[in-house]
Structure 1
Amino acid sequence: MSEMFDCADPAQRQAGVAAAIGALRSGRLVVMPTDTVYGIGADAFDRDAVAALLSAKGRGRDMPVPVLVGSWDTIQGLVLSVPSSARELIRAFWPGALSLVVRQAPSLQWDLGDAHGTVMLRMPMHPVAIELLREVGPMAVSSANISGRPAAHTAEQAREQLGELVQVYLDGGPAQQQIASTIIDLSGARPILLRHGPVTAEAIAGVLGVEVATLSSQTD
């Protein structure tokens, strides 16, 4: 049976984070608050757990699962190399609502879906999420909803959709942004905005000093 923990209560937060750690290390799924929307998460290096995450959402491998990290340093072991553009954006917007698509380290033994050698990384700005991530390491995390349905802005909304497929729900109150993160692809020759979100294209361009293309405006 799944459990819900009110992280506004210090004792429940401590118990909830401990329960979430145990669930993740046992290959189970948890729902956690972030600054954007609630996320459903698994140990990024547990292939069966990531497959269970995709199944819970009703999502195919063609939409690989992003990875959340609890510190800037964590990404060093996850990527082939950290582009200067990524470093600049991390300094400007992490922790926060910007996801970066970069080339992953080829030695990584994980399976996040059909990512074609890339990984989407983000460091969320939420104390409960950061506490959990620093305990368990990188997590595969997608929005806590059934694919095609609205993203959950509260833990209860997530539970209404995912129910007993998730072992632990961490309730951190309503999500602050209530909109999914901005996604910028840095894996190619130029930055490409894949999804609009709280961090604007103009803000990204201001940091990088170059024009940011959008997916719809790409040319061959």
Structure 2
Amino acid sequence: MSDIDQAAVCKAARELEQGKLVAFPTETVYGLGGDAENPAAIAAIYAAKGRPANHPVIVHVSPEADIGYWAAEVPPEAEALIAAFWPGPLTLILKRAPHIPDAVSGGQDSIGVRCPSHPVAQALLREFKGGKGGVAGPSANKFGHVSPTNAQHVYDEFGAQGSSPVAYVLDGGQSEVGIESTIVDLSRVASHGAVLLRPGQISIDQITAVLGVAPNAPDHAAPRASGTLDAHYAPHTPVAMVAPAELPEIVRRLAALGHKVALIQRCNTAIPAAAMIRMPADAASYAYQLYAALRSMDQAGADLIVVEALPQDAQWQGINDRLRRAAHDSSGILQRLLPA
């Protein structure tokens, strides 16, 4: 919807205030929301998704929110990143305030917080608890599956309202960014500096420009964060990444052996496949279409989704991260399907 349906926003806020679950749009993907201060609502999110209880969720807050309510410490680095990128697709991991339930953090002493830029999400956050609440919102899909970027994806995942654990789906149209937020850990900034836990649309270069130093890679003691498991964002159909130069021959050999291939490619080469989507050449447009493409190819009845490997430039880092995780559990499938 292009205009904000305030009646729908109010209904969604009332459902949240009653401890129910609401799917809501953000600029990244659709979230499965519950009252971040209601442990029962958070438990319902975990149950609906089939999410491990130790895997934290992100708390979404309004632009006017007091971050000090949620975080025990807000270091200068956090203030600088907030000033530069909020509202927007950036999640900050901070020390959790003692009065905030640890259920949102998977039992950790940290908390992930972000302020979305989507106007419908902002309207919901301002309406919910008079703008003073927070909505815990992992992606509105079963745990580990492809994230939803429109309302229909949520229905496809959980079923129609009335038969679904989701009390209400707030439709805000297609998510503009299309992949999840960048996550930066600042909960240990004094000892470890800023740490990039998950890449996204906001790049390392942009973060470095604000902080004056590049974020570090996560170490073994880094906080657990949403979407950082090795296998994630995966369709049901196995996924394999193939270099552009090898793509025509690999698909031809798979087809010759009777394997039905669904192809996601950027190149203009005519490659016969059972199903095919041609993706945009630029990173922003590719990210916008990525999850819809994976969902579409997952429904093609193919034996394998073959994805043309992407550039390794910084602007593609977030997309490459999602595809690497989507293909993780399919590792070695080409070697198994194709004789040496």
The two structures have a TM-score, normalised by structure 1, of 0.90
Aligned to 1:204: 207
Q: Which amino acid aligns with 1:48?
A: A
Q: Do the aligned residues in 1 keep the contact of 2:102 with 2:108 (CA within 8 Å)? A: no
Q: Could you tell me how far apart the structure 1 residues matched to 2:214 and 2:101 are?
A: 35
Larger Rg: 2
Q: Does 1:159 align with 2:155?
A: yes
* One-letter identity of the residue aligned with 2:134: P
Would the aligned equivalents of 2:78 and 2:92 in 1 still touch at CA under 8 Å? yes
Q: For residues 203 and 3 of structure 2, what CA distance do their matches in structure 1 show?
A: 34
Please tell me the residue identity of whatever aligns with 1:172: G
* SS of alignment partner, residue 121 of structure 1: strand
Q: 2:20 aligns with which of 6, 18, 28?
A: 28
- Residue 129 of structure 1 aligns to a residue whose secondary structure is helix
State the match for 2:120 in structure 1. Answer: 128
- Cα distance change of structure 1 residues 112 and 156 upon mapping to structure 2, 3 Å threshold: same
User: Deviations along 1:112-168, whole A, 9 cap, x unmatched?
Assistant: 142411000000001110111112121111111111110001011011112211011
* Helix, strand or coil at the partner of 2:170: strand
Give the counterpart of 1:147 among 137, 143, 146.
143
Q: CA deviation at 1:107?
A: 2.6
In structure 2, the CA distance between the partners of 1:9 and 1:107, relative to structure 1 (3 Å rule), is closer
Q: Secondary structure at the match of 1:28?
A: coil
User: Matched residues in 1 for 2:73 and 2:101: separation?
Assistant: 17
Unaligned runs of 5+ in 2: 222-340
Greater per-residue strand proportion = 1
- Contact conserved, 2:102 with 2:109, CA < 8 A, in 1? no
* Alignment-derived partner of residue 182 in structure 1: 182
d(CA) in 2 for partners of 1:32 and 1:219?
33
Provide the aligned length of Structure 1 versus Structure 2. Answer: 210
Classify the secondary structure of the residue corresponding to 1:207: helix
Q: 1:127 to 1:213 in 2, by over 3 A?
A: same
**2-structure distance, mates of 1:167, 1:118:** 29
* Conserved 8 A contact 1:46-1:110: no
Separation in 1 of the partners of 2:78 and 2:181? Answer: 16
Q: 1:38 to 1:219 in 2, by over 3 A?
A: closer
Query: Over residues 12-69 of structure 1, what are the superposed CA-to-partner deviations in whole Å (9 max), with x where a residue is unaligned?
Result: x122112111211111100111010011100111111110001111101121111000
Between the aligned partners of 2:11 and 2:198, the Cα distance in structure 1 is: 33
Between the aligned partners of 1:128 and 1:72, the Cα distance in structure 2 is 15
Aligned pairs (5 A) from 1:1-220: 7-8=1-2, 13-109=5-101, 111-136=103-128, 137-163=133-159, 164-188=164-188, 189=191, 190-215=193-218, 218=219
Task: Indicate the RMSD between aligned Cα atoms, in angstroms.
Answer: 1.6
Measure the CA separation in 1 of the matches of 2:107 and 2:125: 22
| CA–CA distance in structure 2, aligned partners of residues 108 and 184 of structure 1 | 20
Do 2:9 and 2:127's aligned partners in 1 also have CA atoms closer than 8 Å? no
The whole-number CA distance in structure 2 between the counterparts of 1:219 and 1:198 is: 25
User: Against the structure 1 CA distance between its residues 54 and 17, is the aligned structure 2 distance closer, same or farther, given a 3 Å change threshold?
Assistant: same
Output the CA distance in 2 between the equivalents of 1:14 and 1:116: 36
Higher relative contact order (CA 8 A, sep 6+): 1
Whether the 8 Å contact between 2:58 and 2:112 is mirrored in structure 1 is yes
Unaligned runs of 5+ in 1: 1-6
Q: Which amino acid aligns with 2:116?
A: P
The answer (yes or no) to whether the contact 1:98–1:181 under 8 Å persists in 2 is: yes
SS at match of 2:137: strand
